[in-house]
Amino acid sequence: MGRKAYYPTKSAQIPDPMRLPELDAVLADINRIILGKERPIRLSLACLLARGHLLIEDLPGVGKTTLAHVLARVLGLDFQRIQFTSDMLPADILGVSIFDRGSGAFHFHPGPIFTQVVLADEINRATPKAQSALLEAMEERQVTAEGKTRPLPEPFFVIATQNPTHQIGTFPLPESQLDRFLLKIELGYPDPVAERELLAGADRQRMVAELTARVSPQRLIELQQAAREVHASPALIDYVQALAAHTRMAPRWQAGLSPRACLALLAVARAWAMLDGRKHVLPEDVQAVLPGVIAHRLRPVDDVARNDPEAVAAALIEAVALP
């Protein structure tokens, strides 16, 4: 017949499972401090490895700041926190040039964004002008001020938090800007066991201060590169396409997933697979990260479903067969 065999006949080359003990150690360190939140923590690390930025929407006091802080510490990165307020100006984020009388010239004083890990707290309290200054910097990974372009440090990771949008005094981010965040997660209240442990345990701030870096920034950049190279087979890409096609066809969503959203889904799924020690993506990876990817991108027509991204993602997953 001369039909091509489906698979090549050459002998099996079983790829070594990826051994990344340092990432396991990073996760272990964070989980030791933030209790009972394995999944959101893993997702935030995957987000960082995929070179994306993270949006956390939750109530104050559930550990958003601690998470950002801990991540920076164990990864050996600088950390800055920007508290967004309604009277904030772009210069408060990006930096400002000040005339130095001694040298008789303007000197640029870099803003808090020139840091490897930035915690942008309560981003939806600021005006759209300040918001977009941050979001543009996130996207371009550089800052242009007074005609000079200054690159941001590498790795560069923004964790933005926002209050639930129904709270007063908020400027909700438009959908196009939400799209700049790779993932949106919620931390939520800890379960009673974890909470008890937290209450009875040592002081968290001291624990954070005692943390040591598990990887160097250079190694982190290598890991980000490795995450990008995790294999996504044709069958898996078919699956991502099928998911997107379903959201575009089905009447339950106002608009389907964009190609950029599909890229995001694939990127996070790759990092997630790498955290699992695999060099290829499985549908399980896609399904695991799907809620975080679609939470801020897919708006259900149905108002009730809007606030539960897990349920929305589950419905989507169950509607699409694996190709």
Partner 1 sequence: MARANRPVSRRQAWWLLAGALAAFLPLTQQIPPWLAFAAGAAFAWRAALTWRQWHLPPKWLLVLLVIAGTVAVFLQYRSIIGRTPGIALLVVFLALKLLELRAARDAIVTALLCYFLVLGQFLFTQTIPTALLSCVTVLITTATMLAASDDRPEPLLQLRRAALMLAQAMPFMLLLFVLFPRVQGPLWGLPQDRHTATSGISETMSPGSIAQLSQSDAIAFRVEFKGELPPQSRLYWRGPVMPAFDGRTWSIRQTLGAYPEIPYPVSGPSIDYDLTLEPNGKFWLFALEMPGNLPPDSALTSDYQPISRQIVRNRMRYTQRAYPETNAGINDTRAALNEALALPSGGNPRTRALGAEWRNRHGDDGTAILATAQEFFSRQLLIYTLNPPLLGPDLVDEFLFDTKRGFCEHFAAAFVYALRSAGVPARVVAGYQGGEVNPVDGYLVVRQYDAHAWTEAWIAGRGWVRVDPTAISAPSRINTNLAAAVPAGEDLPFLARTDLTWIRELRYRLDAVTNGWNQWVLGYNPQKQRDLLAGLGLGEPDWRSMTAALAVLCGVVLLGLTAWVLRNRRRVDPAFAAWRRFAARLASRNVVWRDWEGPLAFADRAARSIPAHADTIREIADLYARLRYAPAPCADDLERLRRRIAGFHP
- For the CA atoms of 243, 244, 247, 249, the dihedral, rounded to the nearest 10 degrees, stands at -100
Residues 27-66 close enough to bind partner 1 by CB under 8 A: none
CA distance 110 to 153: 12
- For residue 150, which phi and psi values (nearest 5 degrees)? -120, 125
Distance in Å, CB of 174 to partner 1, minimum: 23
Ramachandran region, residue 237 (left: φ > 0; alpha: ψ -120 to 50; beta: rest): alpha
Of 1-9, 94-102, 141-149, 162-170, the segment contacting partner 1 by CB under 8 A is 1-9
Q: Is 236 in the site for partner 1 (CB under 8 A)?
A: yes
19 touches partner 1 (CB under 8 A): no
**200 or 321, CB closer to partner 1?**
321
Give whichever of 199 and 321 is closer to partner 1, judged by the CB atom.
321
Q: Is 298 helix (H, G, I), strand (E, B) or coil?
A: coil
By CB under 8 A, residue 323 contacts partner 1 = yes
Query: Is residue 14 within the footprint of partner 1 (CB under 8 A)?
Result: yes
**Beta carbon nearer to partner 1, 200 or 249:** 249
DSSP state letter for 253: B
**Pick 10 or 19: Cβ nearer partner 1:** 10
Cβ proximity to partner 1: between 187 and 261 the closer is: 261
- The yes or no reply on residue 15 touching partner 1 (CB under 8 A) is yes
Asked if 318 interacts with partner 1 (CB under 8 A), we say yes
- Under rule CB under 8 A, residue 96 binds partner 1: no
Q: How far apart are CA 286 and CA 263, in angstroms?
A: 11
User: Which residue, 116 or 287, has its beta carbon nearer to partner 1?
Assistant: 287
Q: How far is the CB of 234 from partner 1 (least distance, A)?
A: 9
Number of residues that bind partner 1 (CB under 8 A): 38
Query: E-strand spans in 84-235?
Result: 95-100, 105-110, 117-121, 142-145, 148-151, 157-162, 183-185
Written as one string, the DSSP assignment of 42-54 is HHHHHHHHTT--E
Residue 52, amino acid: G
Candidate residues 250, 258, 277, 308; the one interacting with partner 1 per rule CB under 8 A: 250
Choose, by CB under 8 A, the member of 20, 194, 305, 317 that binds partner 1: 317
Contact indicator for 280, 207 with CB cutoff of 8 Å? no
Contact 118, 159 (CB under 8 A): yes
Binding flag, residue 322, partner 1 (CB under 8 A): yes
Binding test (CB under 8 A) with partner 1, winner from 281, 293, 295, 298: 281
Q: Does 240 bind partner 1 (CB under 8 A)?
A: no
| Residues paired with 320 in a beta bridge | none
Least CB distance from residue 20 to partner 1, whole Å?
17
Quick check: 276 and 258 in contact, CB under 8 A? Answer: no
Write out the H or E segment, with its range, that includes residue 80: strand 79-83
Token pair for 137? 């910097």
Binding site for partner 1 (CB under 8 A): 5-15, 231-233, 235-236, 242, 245-246, 249-252, 279-284, 287, 301, 317-323
